[in-house]
Amino acid sequence: MGPGLAIAATGVGAGDLLAAMLAGAGFGTALMWVVIVGAALKLGLNEGVARWQLATGTTLLEGWCRYLGWPMRGYFLVYLVVWSFIVAAGLMSACGVAAHALLPAVGIRSWAILQSLAALTLVALGRYGLFENMMKVLIGLMTATLLLSVVMVGIDPGSLLRGLIPSFPKGSAAAALSLMGGVGGSVTLLAYGYWIREKGWRGSGAISMVRIDLTVGYFLTGLFGVAMLLLSAAVLGGGGGLPPGSEALVACGDAVREATSARYGANVGGAVATVFRVGIWGAVFTSTLGVWNGVPYLFADFLNALRGRYDADVDTRGFAYRGYLVFLAVPPMVLLFLDRPIWIIKLYTLTGGLFMPVLAATLLWLNSRRSKVGDLRNGAVAIATLVLALALFVGIAARQLVDLF
């Protein structure tokens, strides 16, 4: 397996976890099918990103700069900088909340800063191979711990099956849109193109390998989201809710402890709650590590494209990559002093959601041009997927704007 696991781990961030928890707490398993559809749509979008690159030899970002001109260049640069600042702060905050739940002797802000610097060090000192191996270990950890928690809590098979049948309980539309938009990442989908370059997967002959890789990755993304929703539904009863404030991401841990303590005793309940919190920490830290590694590629590649170097590989030892890595890991720390970690997490989910309609629309146009992608152009399934994604993500972005303001 290749970078599909890395894209899966990066895509499971704090916003995704929060959306799954809220959906499970509020509507039980009724929205489980939404997680599956969301993961499938992100798979289709990421396959389109990779297909463009394999067909043309250039990244999608390079294609935007070459064929969509200065309006797209200006939009992307402004968006990337704003997105990076907000998302970096959101990820730091989520890491702080998750680590504080495990070791409360250290404050949320201190944990956030320490983990940002740790991710910075790991990316700066390591090569791609080290990064991919770390992501594989961490996604294995977070998946195993969450699935163990689900097994220990116990899931009603009937509710599991009902969750596969599309339905919208009263008042669930906003939760469904948020859940679908949160699954599987946003701007970080573009990082996959750079990671397959690092892996040496080039040319149209690699498309089958890429599709298998992405399918495995997004299967794990969907599995994690489904498990999170099932667990929240089981311990909060579907119709309950999560406490507000900085404990929202880890409040499920208390409910997990209570549910498992009732079945197996207090010692086992405490142990399972700890296992669950380790899984939550693993999820948000892998997302942080993936963003710290993947997003600097975008900035460095953007500068290459401005210079007309449309097929140049990114130098991860160069000033552009490393400078942007520092920009991600350090300046956004100022937002941590707002002492509103959950608000920051919601804001970072919004900024990601605003990107998805642009990605879907440009893939629909660029990948349909035989003169550019040849035999790898959009087929009927790809066109249907991209049209559906475009419509849904426009609705999601609009809803998130309403919810924020």
What is the structure's pLDDT at 247? Answer: 59
Q: What b/e sequence results for 278-314 when a residue is b if at least 16 CB atoms lie within 10 Å of its CB, and e otherwise?
A: bbbbbbbbbbbbbbbbbbbbbbbbbbbbeeeebeeeb
Alpha-carbon span 404 to 127, nearest angstrom: 39
Question: In angstroms, rounded to a whole number, what is the distance separating the alpha carbons of residues 153 and 121?
Answer: 37
Domains in the chain, CATH or no CATH each: 4-404 (1.20.1740.10)
Q: Which of 35, 33, 32, 25 is nearest to 238 (CA)?
A: 25
In this structure, the dihedral spanned by the alpha carbons of residues 179, 157, 271 and 238, taken in order and rounded to 10 degrees, is 50
Which residue has 């990820």 as its token pair? Answer: 91
pLDDT digits (tens, 9 = 90+) for 356-375: 888 999 999 999 988 888 88
pLDDT tens-place values along the chain, 405 residues long: 678 888 888 877 666 777 788 788 888 888 899 999 989 999 999 999 999 999 999 999 999 998 888 888 988 998 899 889 888 988 898 899 889 888 989 998 999 999 999 999 999 988 888 888 888 888 888 888 888 888 888 887 888 888 888 888 887 777 777 787 777 777 889 999 999 999 989 999 999 999 999 999 999 888 888 888 888 888 876 555 555 544 556 677 778 888 888 888 888 888 988 888 888 888 889 999 999 999 999 999 999 988 888 777 889 999 999 999 999 999 999 888 876 655 555 555 556 667 888 899 999 999 998 888 888 999 999 999 999 988 888 877 776 666 656
Q: What is the DSSP string of 177-213?
A: HHHHHHTT-SGGGGHHHHHHHHHT--SGGGHHHHHHH
Q: Are 50 and 189 in contact (CB under 8 A)?
A: no
Q: What are the angstrom distances between the C-alpha of 168 and each of 66, 157, 395, 401?
A: 42, 20, 16, 21
Q: Which among 41, 42, 54 has a CA at the least distance from the CA of 10?
A: 42
Over the stretch 187-231, which tens digit does the pLDDT of each residue have?
889 999 999 999 989 999 999 999 999 999 999 888 888 888 888
Residue 176, both tokens: 């469904």
Residues above pLDDT 90, as percent of the chain: 33
Q: What is the DSSP string of 260-278?
A: HHHHH-HHHHHHHHHHHHH
pTM: 0.89
CA distances from 77 to 74, 81, 299, 344 (A): 5, 6, 8, 21
CA–CA separation, 145 vs 70, rounded Å? 46
DSSP H or E run through 249? none
